[in-house]
Structures are given as structure tokens and as C-alpha cells.
Chains A and B, each alone.
Chain A
């Protein structure tokens, strides 16, 4: 156990964390605006991954390019799910919303199973094996690009929410849906767009992650749980919290894999979650909603 190994694990985790952040930002946005818990989040991500995989296979598109298309496709998926289903249970009790999203998650996961089969896949990327050495530790180029893209997308989302009119309306509706209705905002449309953007975030995250980690239809639910972990740790409804939480969880898991048994790395995330829930339930960076 050398210092270089720990440093390497921390760096790998940190660069990987960009994807975690992106998926958590999507979840946080959906929850913040609609107070709906998107249990199908991880399964939307898997669909993003498979789209990237198919695009790479058929058209030879690199996932670092095709993630735009994947995000657009999952945006549409999110809009449809919101319009057809979520919109109708916005005022329903929590357990009903959870049950509905569970149904969506089951359908999406098993649709992927029927269409793509149960095999574990991984998208080929031209940068898959490239590395750059920095003294005793190396930088995985694919992870570096992923991190950069995830950061850029998160910044773009931030600018959209805080600078554009529609973004400001989304934040207004998140803050007070009734109030937004009163000032004449088209809340239904806002909800639709917000859900779509949240889904697009996780679709892009899925496409980017497909080059880093193997995936299969069954990984969806685990990703959903990880997203929840991050969002709670970072603070529900706080986009900055979700972003930093993603980095934190990724580094913690990566270190846990080195310091403990690799298969126990998820445990680190859950223990972190329990501690946060008990001692700082508003999350590390939680405060007001977006």
C-alpha cells in the first residue's frame, strides 16, 4: 500500500466522479422542481449507455461525440414519461409516485433486456487505453475527457438555470409551483422541460460512462441508488451539492476499493449516506432548493 497507489485511486475516483455528478445533478433537478423521486433514473442512464454503444457499433461514433445524441434521445424519453405518467401523479401521496416510477423502471430495464440482451457491454472509444504519466501516477485520458465534458455540461446547466428566462422560470416553479402559476408561468411546460433536462443529464452521463465501465440492463437500479446516495449526501435539491457530492462519493468509493476489498466499495457510499442522514440530513451543501 504505497502513497502513490492511494493517490492513484483518489485521482481515478475524482475524474470518474464527473459522471456521478452529472447523473446526480439530473436527479436533483427533477426532485427539486417536481418533488418526484425518479426511481427510473438509473434505467434511463442504461438506455443512454446502450444508445452510445449502438451508435459506436453501427456508425463508429465515439461516445465522447455521440453523448449529445444520447442526451437528446433521453430528453425525449423523459418528456414522454413526464407527460404521460408523472404529470398525473404530481399531487399523489409519495408512495404512489414511488410505485409509478418503480413501474417505469421495471419497464425500461426489461425493455433493455429484451432489446439488447443480458450481456455486459462496454462502448469502444479511441481513447479507451490512452494514459498520460504524471510522475508516479498516471492519468486515464478517457476519464479526463469524461470529467471535462461532465463539468462543461454541469456549467451549461447552471448558466441555463440562472441566466435564461426559461431557466429562471424553472427555478421559480421549484421554489413555489403555485406562485409560478399565479404569475402566469406555464407550469406544465416547465415541469416537462425540467424532467427532460434531468433525463438528458443522466442520458449524457450514461453515454460517457459506457466508455469507462461495463454495463448491462441490471446495472440500472444500482445506478439509481447511487444517484440517491449522492443527492442526499450533497443536499436534496442543491445542484452544487449534487455535483460536489458526486465527486466525494466517487473518491470515497475508489479509496474504499483500494483500502478495503474491491467488492465492498459500495459499502463506503452507504455508510456515508447513513451518517449524513443521521447527522446532517439536509446534506453537506443543502440549504434552500435551487
Chain B
């Protein structure tokens, strides 16, 4: 673990600028994935609207920086707080009204789309064209002339998110979240405050995601509602933890190390050949393969291989798993208990 950290710290000295960019995206998406993992992985509350938090955080800090010259380092926290507020609203409405599973997913999608549509119609935020940050190279304005600093910021963000996830995993809240994920009704019967726990998880997750938005804006130097709030970004966020293994500490990181380079390489390779859509076909096929052959994600699988568990090799398909190994099939959804 320490060795890996040292390697990552020393790595920028040896990398070219292209590989550096790849690593920055790996860390950044691992960070966002870990933030999502707190709610979606540990708590089992799938959100497909996390881009809304990225967008809110990014727009808040950028707007404050452009209008009041407030440093994005401070704006980052304000943006995170703004995202946390939105998270609290979504969480309060969703959990108070007992939306579970697919219904909660749709609620998050709807809020993400509402944010996107509203922001594209606010002229102070640049409308559909978005905001453009002029480069000043001032570190206080979150701008670095050397990509290596972005590398360290992204690495720092990822490590912070892993620290938070590790703390939660070991805390009472982590146990509550796991209990809610496995069986919400049973956990409530045992006295778990499901509403409060889920609300805390979504607020924390939204805050971290919102903080990431500031990095997003200042690394790309521009913000468009369609990309910062769009569903494609939400999909990118959700993919990494699920491919890596949702509800595990290393899952989002591993998923990001698998997916980000793959996306990057296939994008460059196929775009050069003039086939702009092919890299996403590869991406989609990989997803299908992961679901069919590594349904619990790469990390639990690898761990199983290394520990030489009896079930070595490809895990059996879902329907033959003994009870207790796979999550029980969720009961048919009832939107609200009578």
C-alpha cells in the first residue's frame, strides 16, 4: 500500500504529458466514483444523477471566482456545500416519500436533467454556451502552468475520498448502510434509522462530488451545461465503482484504473482512424462482459483469486449462487408501503 503510494508520488517525474493526463483522469474519476460509492455502493441507493452535483459545484466555484474573484480553493467548499444542499433536497424527498430502487434512480435522473435545463437558461451562468475560464496560471486561482500539480491535486482528492470511505466502512454508519443495502425493512426493524443514515450518505456523497466539480472546471477551463450536468457524465461516474466492485474501498480506484485508460486509448486509437463512435462500442461491450462474467466487480474477483478461495475462476452465473453469496433478489418494488 505504502509502496504503491510512493510510486504514485514519484510517477510524474517519469511520465510524458499525455500519460500524465491519463493518470489525472484516472484519479479524478476514482474520486468521483468513490463519492458515488458512499451512497450507491455501501448504501445501495443508486443515483444516476451525480453529474448534477459535479455541475453545481463547478458552476458555484467558477461563478464566484469570475464575479467576486473568490479563490476556487474556497469556492470549492462552497460549491460542495451547494451540492450537499441539493443532495439533501433529493434525499429528503426521495427517502421521505419512500422511493426505492428504480424510482429513486429516476428521481435523481430527473433532478439532474432539471438542473441542466435550468442552468442552460440562466444568462448569468453563460446559458447553453457555458462559462469559460481564462488562464492566468495563478495557483491561488486553481490554475497551474504545469500539469504535474493537477496530478498531485487529483491524487490528493482520491486519497482523501479513500480515507473517508475507509472511515465510514469501519464506523457504525458503514454497518448501517450495509444493513440498509441488504434489507432495508429488516434493518429498520432492528432499529436502524434508515432515513437519517441514507440522508447523511447522500449529503456527504453530494458534497464530495461537488468539490470535485471545482477540479473539473479548473482542469478543463470551460463548463457547458450539457457536459457538466449531462447523463453521460453520471454514467461515467457510476461505471467505475460498479466495474471495480461497488461497496468496496478499492472498487472505484480499480475500476478507474481499468476503464479510464481503456476509454482514453480506444478514443485516441479509433478517432485517428476516423471512426468516432467505435470507442464507445468497445466501452459498451466491455460493460456487457463485466456484467456477465464479473458481476460483483473486478476487485472482489481478484481478491478471490489471490486468496485462492475454493470458487476459483469465473464466478458462477447469478441464478446458481447459493443464498447469502449474492444479494437476494429484491422483492417486487412497491413504491410506498400502504
- B296 nearest CB neighbor, chain A only: A96
Distance in Å: Cβ of B206 to nearest Cβ of chain A: 17
Partner of A88, one of B109, B275, B277, B317: B317
CB <8 Å contact, A105 and B284: yes
B281, A98: Cβ atoms closer than 8 Å: no
**What are 28 A-B interface contacts by the 8 Å CB criterion?**
A37-B102, A88-B318, A89-B291, A89-B318, A92-B291, A92-B295, A95-B242, A96-B242, A98-B105, A100-B288, A102-B287, A103-B291, A105-B284, A106-B280, A112-B277, A114-B281, A118-B276, A217-B277, A225-B113, A228-B106, A228-B109, A263-B128, A264-B117, A267-B114, A274-B110, A277-B99, A281-B98, A282-B336
Q: Which of A88, A110, A221, A263 has the most CB of B within 10 A?
A: A110
B170 within 8 A of A: no
- Chain A 143-174 per-residue mask, 1 if CB under 8 angstroms from chain B, else 0: 00000000000000000000000000000000
Number of B residues contacting the other chain (C-beta, 8 Å)? Answer: 56
**Contact between B275 and A114, CB atoms less than 8 A apart:** yes
Whether the Cβ atoms of B292 and A89 lie closer than 8 Å is yes
Q: What is the number of residues of chain A that contact chain B, defined by CB distance less than 8 Å?
A: 49
Kindly supply a per-residue 1/0 record for chain A positions 80-113, scoring 1 wherever the CB is within 8 Å of any chain B CB and 0 otherwise: 0000010011111111101110111111011111
Q: Are A281 and B99 in contact (CB under 8 A)?
A: yes
Give CA–CA (A279, B333) in the complex, Å.
17
**Interface readout for B125-153 with A: 1 if CB under 8 Å, 0 if not?**
00010000000000000000000000000
Q: How far is the CB of B16 from chain A (nearest CB, A)?
A: 29
* B82 CB to nearest chain A CB (Å): 19
A232: Cβ under 8 A from any B Cβ: yes
In Å, the complex CA distance between A267 and B110 comes to 9
Give min CB distance, B327 to chain A, whole Å: 5
- Expressed in whole angstroms, the Cα–Cα distance for A276 and B103 within the complex equals 11
Q: Could you say which residues of chain A place their CB within 8 Å of the CB of B5?
A: none
Report how far A171 CA is from B333 CA in the complex, Å.
18
Determine how close the nearest CB of chain A comes to the CB of B271; give it in whole angstroms.
12
Q: Which of B277-307 contact A (CB under 8 A)?
A: 277-278, 280-281, 283-288, 290-292, 295
Kindly name the residue among B101, B105, B287, B317 whose own CB sees the greatest number of chain A CB atoms within 10 A.
B287
In whole Å, how far is B259's beta carbon from the nearest beta carbon of chain A?
12
B194 interface contact, C-beta 8 A = no
A271 vs B46: C-alpha distance when bound (angstroms): 20
Q: What residues on A are CB-neighbors of B105 within 8 Å?
A: 98
Partner among B46, B103, B288 whose Cβ is within 8 Å of the Cβ of A103: B288
- Contact A270 to B113, CB < 8 A, known contacts A37-B102, A103-B288, A282-B335: yes
CB-nearest residue of chain B to A272: B110
Q: Are A109 and B280 in contact (CB under 8 A)?
A: yes
